[in-house]
Chain A
Amino acid sequence: MQNNVLDYLNDIVRVKPDKTAFADPRRVMTFAQVYGQSRAIATFLHRKGIEKQPVVVFMGKSPEEITAFFGVIAAGNFYVPIDEEMPSVRIDLILENVKAGMLICDASTEQAARQLRFQGEIVLYEDACGGDVDEEALQKIYDRAIDTDPVYIVFTSGSTGVPKGVAACHRSVIDYIEQLSEVMGFDENTVFGNQTPLYFDACLKELYPTLKFGATTWLIPRELFTLPVKLVEFLNEHKINTICWVVSALTMVSAFETFRTVTPQYLRNIAFGSEVFPLKQFRKWREALPQAKFTNLYGPTEGTGMCCYYRVERELQDGEPIPIGRPFKNTEILLLNEKDERAAAGEEGEICIRGTSLTLGYYNDFERTRQAFVQNPLNTAYPEMIYRTGDIGRLNEQGELVFVSRKDYQIKHMGHRIELGEIEANVNLLEPVKIAGCAYDEGKGRIMLYYVGEISEKELAEALKDRLPRYMMPNRITRLEKMPFTANGKIDRAALRSGVSQEWKGR
């Protein structure tokens, strides 16, 4: 039985050594190159005595970065991807949490890496992959591996201002990749066009199926997602037939009549998720590509990746949200009402996940793990974990799962999962700020920040850039004379959301 995600790579390299595995406009890497360089990196780590530890990978998004991930795993470790897009304060919080002994960087990130608060050793990718391979040592590490060992830690927004590191193990990743591949119908002819960053779980959809089937993944340069015509030309140039993008990237293409100028020639398999796809935009895609399959995917990072899918086949009514659909095989969705019982037909309940796809929990954070990963309340006979997503859902008349709302102040913005509390916590840390409150304008997709304090809106934006990743930056910042509060003394988010009246702005 497969118990290691690298079995995919070890098997495919014998079958298709010379096929392109991962590529971007600067570099194309075959399966043999990915295998060889990852084994050299693993040997390097082994000789440094690094095993069963987190290893930080801080590189420019590239085929080499992916190869570094596999090298970390082959040495019996788990990778922690960080990225230049993350502000340094956030990176330091991550480093503090994982306490890694080794960081792999490249020429583009070396300078930034050396300025981090990092206690361990920093090594360049090219130095780590330049040596020989100790086959015997790597085989022994492989033989010792257990499928509940971690593969990676990725960090997601935390409402206290400290991000949470979700650790996933081999078993949950394998389960996810097997079920996703079946649902999506990936095969050896699949050519992926990757949009999502490598420092979230979203990129698992491309990385591991590429190994499993001997498919190919093109990493699409980020700037093309501001230039829709060039983006579609890129898809055509590389004969990309499969994309799993966030909704905002798809909308970027359809909203500006791109399809009148250029149409994707090879695209046949389109998955989207993480947020609601406006029906108007979805219909433009379907009209442009009537032969393509469209699949809505849903799932939190804590469930490894996606855990539910909906193939859009029937005609959707105006105003009807695209359903989340049903769980992957080997995963169950429990809809639990406020009494922790199964929600009745049509009744709303919290979406909870049961199955092998559950990750290990939050790294070095038992307290927050215990709050979200809990004993299944429907099982009083033996220990069984479920993950409480905090998402509220219900079953529609067709028995399909539909997302309704959140239990808390988590939002989805540009495909990213964001705790408004994390933004507020970071604003409140700034000396001149007395109090800050955030609201999300769903219609316009804007994060609105309101604050009271002796600092201008411009200075505040400048200061926040060092603390928050770009996607968390408020889209509107407004200084108030006083903050609206509810009767029981909490920030009145409803008042903020409806646009604060002049009364609060003062002057």
Chain B
Amino acid sequence: MERKVREMEELLEILEDLHPEVDFTTCDRLIDDKILDSFDIVSVIAEINERFDVAITAEKITPENFNSAKALYALIQKLEDGE
């Protein structure tokens, strides 16, 4: 449980670094409302790859997985478990 909290905080940190003005704990329309652009997606995935050691490939880059920090963390967990 502790690990989850820590990892979620780390993910929020990555996202807030890109957009300090967005509240990522509540926003669930990051793709739909075009808050994240292609540069952000590339940056986020690169950071996730570095810090969580999981590779997110194209078929996982969907609005469902990227619309909120929560969904994105769920994806990271799924990829971590799969390895």
The interface of chain A, by Cβ under 8 A from chain B, is: 222-223, 225-229, 248-249, 251-253, 255-258, 260-261, 414, 444-446, 457-458, 461-462, 465, 470, 475-477
The complex places the Cα of A253 from the Cα of B66 at a distance, in Å, of 16
Nearest Cβ in chain A — how far from B41, in angstroms? Answer: 5
The complex places the Cα of A143 from the Cα of B36 at a distance, in Å, of 49
Which one of B2-10, B55-63, B74-82 contacts A? Answer: B55-63
Contact (Cβ within 8 A) A226 B31 = yes
CB-defined interface of B19-53 with A at 8 Å, one 1/0 digit per residue? Answer: 11100000000010010111111110100000000
Nearest Cβ in chain A — how far from B25, in angstroms? Answer: 14
The residues of B that contact A444 with a CB separation of less than 8 Å are: 43
CB within 8 Å for A226 and B57 given contacts A461-B21, A476-B17: no
Nearest-CB residue, chain A, relative to B18: A475
Contact (Cβ within 8 A) A461 B61 = no
Contact (Cβ within 8 A) B20 A255 = no
The residues of A that contact B58 with a CB separation of less than 8 Å are: 228-229, 253, 256-258, 260-261
The interface of chain B, by Cβ under 8 A from chain A, is: 17-21, 31, 34, 36-43, 45, 56-59, 61-63, 66
Contact (Cβ within 8 A) B34 A222 = yes
Majority-rule SS of A interface residues: helix
The complex places the Cα of A222 from the Cα of B31 at a distance, in Å, of 11
Query: Could you name 16 residue pairs across A and B whose Cβ atoms are closer than 8 Å?
Result: A223-B31, A225-B37, A226-B41, A227-B61, A228-B61, A229-B59, A229-B62, A248-B38, A249-B38, A256-B45, A256-B58, A256-B61, A257-B58, A461-B20, A462-B21, A475-B43
Nearest-CB residue, chain A, relative to B62: A227
CB within 8 Å for A252 and B20 given contacts A223-B31, A257-B57, A261-B59: no
Nearest-CB residue, chain A, relative to B46: A444
Contact (Cβ within 8 A) B20 A457 = yes
The complex places the Cα of A445 from the Cα of B66 at a distance, in Å, of 21
Contact (Cβ within 8 A) B61 A226 = yes
The complex places the Cα of A404 from the Cα of B45 at a distance, in Å, of 30
The residues of B that contact A251 with a CB separation of less than 8 Å are: 42
Nearest-CB residue, chain B, relative to A249: B38
Nearest Cβ in chain B — how far from A474, in angstroms? Answer: 10
Which of A225, A257, A258, A476 is B38 in contact with, Cβ under 8 Å?
A225
Nearest Cβ in chain A — how far from B15, in angstroms? Answer: 12
The residues of A that contact B31 with a CB separation of less than 8 Å are: 223, 226-227
Nearest Cβ in chain A — how far from B63, in angstroms? Answer: 7
The residues of B that contact A260 with a CB separation of less than 8 Å are: 57-58
CB within 8 Å for A229 and B43 given contacts A223-B34, A457-B20: no
Closest 9 CB pairs of A and B: A258-B58, A256-B58, A458-B20, A228-B58, A225-B38, A257-B57, A461-B20, A462-B21, A461-B21
Nearest Cβ in chain B — how far from A215, in angstroms? Answer: 26
Contact (Cβ within 8 A) B59 A252 = no
The complex places the Cα of A295 from the Cα of B6 at a distance, in Å, of 46
The residues of A that contact B20 with a CB separation of less than 8 Å are: 457-458, 461, 477
Nearest-CB residue, chain B, relative to A464: B21
The residues of A that contact B17 with a CB separation of less than 8 Å are: 476
The residues of B that contact A227 with a CB separation of less than 8 Å are: 31, 61-63
Contact (Cβ within 8 A) A252 B38 = yes
Contact (Cβ within 8 A) A461 B19 = yes
The complex places the Cα of A34 from the Cα of B76 at a distance, in Å, of 48
The complex places the Cα of A253 from the Cα of B61 at a distance, in Å, of 11
The complex places the Cα of A253 from the Cα of B58 at a distance, in Å, of 8
